[in-house]
Structure 1
Amino acid sequence: MTATSMFDRLDADRPLKVVVAGAGAMGTAWARAVGANPRFELSAIVDADERRAKALAIRLRAPGLPVTASVADLAGVSVDICINATPPTEHFGVIDAALEADLAVLSEKPFTGNLKEAGLLAGKARALGKLLMVSQSRRYQPGLERFRAGVRRLGGLYSLHTSFSRLYPGTGFRARLAQPLLTDMAVHAFDAARYVTGAAPVEVYCDTVRRSGSGYEGPAEASAVFEMSDGLRFHYSGSWCAPGLPTPWGGRWRAVGTEGSVEWDGAGRVHGGGPDGEHADNDVETVDDATFDRDPVRQVARPLEEFGEALTTGSSPWGEASDNLRTVAMVEAAVISAQRRMPVRIDELLAEAWAT
């Protein structure tokens, strides 16, 4: 670990050796992204079902790749990095085991099941000098990055709005989550709000609804208003049980500031308008959001590259664990607010997490 880095750096003169934990759809995307990036080398696959791990190795045309049922079983396999692509309920155990094995960790969102667990892992990673990063893949969507550039031109921000609405069947692990929309989907929007505005979350009031027949055990519809630093209000509206007229996966966004407004339709079009209510044709930008939406390998390629850059240079990436705690705290505060039907202070939750 250098004097300026919170974690051990790795040698940039050789490929970084990776184990992918989780051989499902996202594990497959991560494994393919690793194989396409010369900075990395896929060294092993871990899955509780070793037959599934072996099947993935065969699909990757690497039938001799070591496969194990857990990260703890990797003795004798040279590995630098664990990519955690397991279901959210497994995140704490997999990340903890990887840190114990002296590995840097890049994890799929959400970080863990709750803020306390996330705080424990962030503290452990820091104590061990290991980089722990949470991949918020939609932070890298082309339209969101252009929207952020437009927001930067609005002067002082008044409000940020996003809406997400789709009919998404409640199946698999998501169907069993206590708060499926907030923890597995809204977390993207909450993290994006931090990225777009640079503001810190202060307080939230949230209301959730469980729709009968949705297939979800928990509520899959939510509305939340966050107070952010500098008085900014962030309004979130989302649903996984809304038939007809779906939004893009990135949602639709609008920001309002002292110098006008900017909108992103989530599907490739970003445009802004000045305080007089007009906007010129050259204020409209078109980006390729469609390819990003339908290509899971592209979605994870950028966070993977940023992770590798951080490991070899010592720079702190977006999603570094101690910073991602703020995103986790937004989710947990929203969940608590919905349960108690009252506002929840986010800084108090963060203080408790770090004290743990």
Structure 2
Amino acid sequence: MHLRPVQFVDTPAAHDDGAVARLAGGMQWFAAYEVLDAGRRFTVPVSEVGGLGERAATLHARVTAPRPAWQLGPRTLRFDQPQVAGILNVTPDSFSDGGARVDDPVAAAAAGVAMAGAGAALVDVGGESTRPGAALVWEEDEARRVTPVVERLAAAGVLVSIDTRKAVVMEAALAAGAAIVNDVAALLWDDRAIEVVARSGAPVILMHSPDPKSGPHGGHGYANVVTEVFDWLEARIAAVVAGGVHRARIMVDPGIGFGKSLSDNLALINNLTIFHALGCPVMLGASRKRLIGALSNEAPVAERLGGSVALALKGAEAGVQLLRVHDVAETVQALRVWRGLRDRALVS
């Protein structure tokens, strides 16, 4: 069984007690679930979900539970409203900036500080491209790329996540001041990764891809991409918790663009609310992705700002807690307007 929150409302004030529920302790309220069970699809009011059995009760509890903030040294990452993570690539073959900041840690760190100044809650630093066809980077080279950037950002008071699937890079970045691990392989590519994260106590972001051991862009299609990605992430959370990572320190990412067709990506984005039933904060990384070009006359990467902001707002509407973006200032501005509209709706 799967539950997807639907029938969102502006404010709970106009509804009887128990008729609506709050989504993950955030700014969204909803009145019903779409239920997917054994090939059936139907809608039930929130007030009647208790009659669907133990599995439904578990999912409902996960959907409605507030997400505890992550206390990361002197910094706090809250999940009661959407936050922005700025993407900072220090690779020679990044799909978004073509390696503009590789081999220049001072300039890269300055760009990261600017992102934080523009409103990014954290800066996600990566030293290996995950675009289709990208070459594998030796772990020591990757660590040398990211470590001086992480050190400078941490010294400037910026909250940093390290975007890597390699245990050696995780260790180096965490020692340099990174506070979060963001792994496109969900701690499956490197056999030591889960041990490193568990030992460090750092939160981790687990992203779905069809075959993380081989690379992020494998796979052979899906019968139902939404429920299959959900089930994979649910199993992966359980495995990572069994490996010593506290569930409250896990975030999930459905992996837009990784081993998925345009149709798959659109289905996932249209059904983002289902992932709150995993009981963890959700990250959406759709900025400048190929699907935007596919829907806008093959717009090149540098001309996908409008589509990126549209997807970020779609994520906010779905209660996504962290939006991973290239264009920080524009996304933050859009979210501030969205937040103003939500604040007003809640008291109208």
TM-score in same-fold range (> 0.5): no
- TM-score by length of structure 2 reads 0.31
TM-score by length of 1: 0.30
Considering fraction of residues, name the structure with more strand: 1
